[in-house]
Amino acid sequence: MSLFYSSLDLPPASRFPGLSSNGAIYHERMARVLDGAAIAAEIKAEVKAEVERLVAQGIRPGLAAVLVGNVPASEIYVRSKVKTCEALGLFSELITPPETVTTKEMLALIERLNAREDIDGILVQLPLPPQVNAKQLLEAVSPDKDVDGFHPVNVGRLQTGQPALAPCTAEGIIEILKRSRLPIAGQNAVVVGRSDIVGKPTAILLLAENATVTVCHSKTRDLGSFTRQADILVAAIGKPALITVEMVKPGATIVDAGINRVTDRAQFQRYFAGNERREEAFLQKGSTIVGDVLPAAYEQAGAYTPVPGGVGPLTIAMLMANTVRAAKLRRGLPA
Ligand code: GUN
């Protein structure tokens, strides 16, 4: 249920937070928080139940995660992916080639994984070191095991409305909207960011759900004139707090896919002034995470995904779902 109240719904005396006649606390405008962690937990529970059914038929879906070198953020993500496999009953294998690995060695590794019967999904964590030809590598992954949805065959299938393995974050964004019962068809959706991993596939999936989709990017002139038209605003451009209050249509749904680390005190103050809990955590850790949307702008929305705890948790949940789906498709089972 949306907690959005337009100021027109309330008498003038009620334009500030207080108690209504029935005792309920109201605000002039109160955005609904879309709890990504709860939605991800729901999806993971469904995946776990499906894995149990498959295991009972002698099929244990398996994921190979390839982590090259020592990028700290990648290490955290990949370990979390492997741990989630274990928690849901999937087989997983972590492969860690050294930072100095060549394209040829990586191609040989992918070939071995493509041929393995116990591996249904292959994930090559990005970014890769500069000497490795990432495009060539992602094309070498069998499209049937491409649980990241990065292979041109899957991109093409998605684009043409055929069954495809789609990029996990984009799938997660659609799941958040659907499971929160937010309408997509006929809505003006504006995607800010055009990456192959998030922006482009999210735009394609929104279009497949019959939204009217606009894609904006770093060269878009007068970005606010587009974002203000958005009923669904997806921010996925990797620029901290780029979307400000006046760029959001009141009552819109904001999906913030940004994950930007903030270490600078003045920058922290610009984004989080007055947020005592954040400040305490920031002082303790020396950093915090901000999305692509200024936190104050969330309050302009009807609903929004927080950072952290919004889109982030969905990425791993959808990777698990894609691995199970790949396992079923490869064996000709309905998926
Ligand atoms: N690096 C950042 N996001 C992703 C992702 O979704 N998949 C892979 N393989 N690498 C990433």
Closest ligand 1 atom number to CA of residue 74: 1
Measured by CA distance, the residue closest to atom 8 of ligand 1 is 125
Q: Which option is the CATH number for 57-155: 3.40.50.720, 3.40.50.300, 2.60.120.260, 3.40.50.10860?
A: 3.40.50.10860
Among this protein's residues, is 136 annotated catalytic?
A: no
From 148, 231, 256, 292, the catalytic residue: 148
What is the predicted pLDDT for the residue at 197?
97
Measured by CA distance, the residue closest to atom 2 of ligand 1 is 126
What is the predicted pLDDT for the residue at 15?
34
Task: Tell whether ligand 1 has an atom less than 6 A from the beta carbon of residue 126.
Answer: yes
Reduced 3-state DSSP string for 12-39 = HHHCCCEECCCCCEECCCCCEECCHHHH
What is the predicted pLDDT for the residue at 28?
57
Measured by CA distance, the residue closest to atom 9 of ligand 1 is 125
Closest to 51 in 3D by CA, of 330, 323, 314, 332: 323
pTM: predicted TM-score of the whole model, two decimal places: 0.91
Fold of 169-314: Rossmann fold (3.40.50)
Radius of gyration of the chain (CA): 21
Task: Tell whether ligand 1 has an atom less than 6 A from the beta carbon of residue 300.
Answer: no
Among this protein's residues, is 125 annotated catalytic?
A: yes
What is the predicted pLDDT for the residue at 17?
44
What is the predicted pLDDT for the residue at 29?
66
What is the predicted pLDDT for the residue at 121?
98
- Dist. CA 25–CA 31, nearest whole Å: 14
Confirm whether 57-155 and 169-314 share one CATH topology.
yes
Cβ-contact 121, 64 below 8 angstroms = yes
What is the predicted pLDDT for the residue at 30?
86
Task: Tell whether ligand 1 has an atom less than 6 A from the beta carbon of residue 148.
Answer: yes
Task: Tell whether ligand 1 has an atom less than 6 A from the beta carbon of residue 54.
Answer: no
List the domain boundaries for the chain: 57-155, 169-314
Per-residue pLDDT in tens (0 to 9) along the chain, 335 residues:
333 333 333 333 333 344 444 444 444 568 999 999 999 999 999 999 999 999 999 999 999 999 999 999 999 999 999 999 999 999 999 999 999 999 999 999 999 999 999 999 999 999 999 999 999 999 999 999 999 999 999 999 999 999 999 999 999 999 999 999 999 999 999 999 999 999 999 999 999 999 999 999 999 999 999 999 999 999 999 999 999 999 999 999 999 999 999 999 999 999 999 999 999 999 999 999 999 999 999 999 999 999 999 999 999 999 999 999 999 999 999 99
Task: Tell whether ligand 1 has an atom less than 6 A from the beta carbon of residue 168.
Answer: yes
For residue 38 the two structure tokens come to: 């709860």
